[in-house]
Structure 1
């Protein structure tokens, strides 16, 4: 039997860490070559692409892709973890001057490149120790701000008719974005303590919530020896790059790690990545453009060979 290989879009359940999910899939798939593509906190559900076998080679590319979340912001209550699981630090009931127009204006201001300070309850390392470990020891250390991208943020349901208003919203963002911190920062901009009271990841790279399978489905497939039918090919993680078919006579050269000259190139720039395929559609390699001479063609060299 050939080695199990592919990407499993898993629906991560509440109460499990991303590492718990990896360990479970390792047992079910019977291989240690398993990795996830972006940590979700234990109380967060949603899309967690799992790479199995050779697909672990593309895990970093999936991890780097934008993510989309459905979240709830609660205004007027701050917690030490910036989410609903933390200890309450501060409260402030809604004042009459808080309006829907102001809320929408503030949300809009958080579009584009923004700066975040990683929360103390996070996996970021400072001097070799994770912040959440220091936080549990009662320590607060200085954290360096990070720039992240908010590609789009859309308030969908605004409830101002209660002492602690809530806003349900969707947000598309770059890797490394803390939605907890985004909620706390939005609250701060409004003049209120705030926290994230709900979060679900609904898209990770090309994978959506609708494509996800549960651990129960995976366990049943493993028992019936049909786990391979739940997997997507590893090149699905790279669909953001143009696909190029090479002549049959160049297939072995590509597999051997040689460069390729493209005589009918697209509108590519130096550094652009390309997916190279054999004439029969077999995925061969991921290349990067290293030379763009419009007279002699474009040359690409391998980044990874599959």
Structure 2
């Protein structure tokens, strides 16, 4: 007879966990595991990483989910390995081999081709992606053997660095470091580079090493999180304002803070700002985000008084 399962007692957790996502986990799998380890009531991630990919995956809990959209727009940095000479159905190692061609390019040709992909480029979203058409993910069409029309997406490759090139032997490959805008498909980039070299290619490794201000060195793995005593796990959760590093900081008096939290605009000698992180003075706490125009502080996303109280109660 099976023993009854112990029910996890959830609790309010507010903030950002910088997770180093393991290989083979979907972003949602990693989120659910971290959520269980923290016993968090509410959580979400800031953009998906393929199961093939590892690396920086910021997870937002509680009030931090209100600002997760801001981070979806952040630039990303990846390190990837492109296997040359072999094309697959999915542009990565999980797909079936479609074509094999000899690799006859020189290092000079590789450098010239990489230069072509710098700056603004157009990418055709891969069929094996979560992008939706008519309410259905493209990978669902692909699994059914159906190819649908897709519109090119315009992205920007800020940096494309060649870390290593092996053009001979049984497994010729390129190791690249890519800094790019949101929405860039690294699988498509690797496949397009292979095609431009005349031999084709697909991704065999992908690691996100930075997203916005967050880097891999700041992250914790699921195994490391699980190994911590439960009371130390919460210490790895950053405050919500970690998602707002570029926001202008505005601090309000107790009276103005209460009115701001009710959605009222405040007037003050603040310079114009497209994005402001607004704090209360006593006690010091994040109230929400706003923008400033002509000396007027205009609320955008607000924390609730209950969320603020819960954050204050859990802070050292």
Q: TM-score with structure 1 length normalisation? A: 0.89
Among 36, 39, 42, the alignment partner of 2:48 is: 39
Q: Which residue of 2 aligns with 1:295?
A: none
- Further displaced range: 189-198 or 13-22: 189-198
Cα distance in 2 for partners of 1:162, 1:216 equals: 36
> Secondary structure of the residue that 1:201 maps to in structure 2?
strand
Q: State the Cα distance separating 1:118 from its structure 2 match.
A: 0.8
Q: Which residue of 1 aligns with 2:264?
A: 258
Q: State the Cα distance separating 1:254 from its structure 2 match.
A: 2.0
Say if 2:154 is the partner of 1:147. yes
- Further displaced range: 147-156 or 23-32: 23-32
Cα distance in 2 for partners of 1:240, 1:155 equals: 30
> Secondary structure of the residue that 1:102 maps to in structure 2?
helix
Q: Structure 1: which 5+ runs fail to align? A: 293-297
Q: Which residue of 2 aligns with 1:171?
A: 178
Q: TM-score with structure 2 length normalisation? A: 0.86
Cα distance in 2 for partners of 1:114, 1:301 equals: 36
Cα distance in 1 for partners of 2:107, 2:254 equals: 61
> Secondary structure of the residue that 2:231 maps to in structure 1?
coil
Runs of 4+ in 1 over 6 A off after TM superposition: none
Among 192, 212, 216, the alignment partner of 1:209 is: 216
Say if 2:7 is the partner of 1:5. no
CA RMSD of aligned residues (A): 2.0
Say if 2:278 is the partner of 1:276. yes
Cα distance in 2 for partners of 1:100, 1:133 equals: 38
Q: State the Cα distance separating 1:190 from its structure 2 match.
A: 2.2
Q: Which residue of 1 aligns with 2:248?
A: 242
Q: Which residue of 2 aligns with 1:226?
A: 232
Q: State the Cα distance separating 1:283 from its structure 2 match.
A: 1.7
- Further displaced range: 155-164 or 37-46: 155-164
Cα distance in 1 for partners of 2:12, 2:203 equals: 41
Q: State the Cα distance separating 1:169 from its structure 2 match.
A: 1.1
Cα distance in 1 for partners of 2:11, 2:202 equals: 48
Q: Which residue of 2 aligns with 1:103?
A: 110
Q: State the Cα distance separating 1:164 from its structure 2 match.
A: 5.2
Cα distance in 2 for partners of 1:140, 1:262 equals: 56
Say if 2:302 is the partner of 1:305. yes
Q: Structure 2: which 5+ runs fail to align? A: 1-9, 304-316
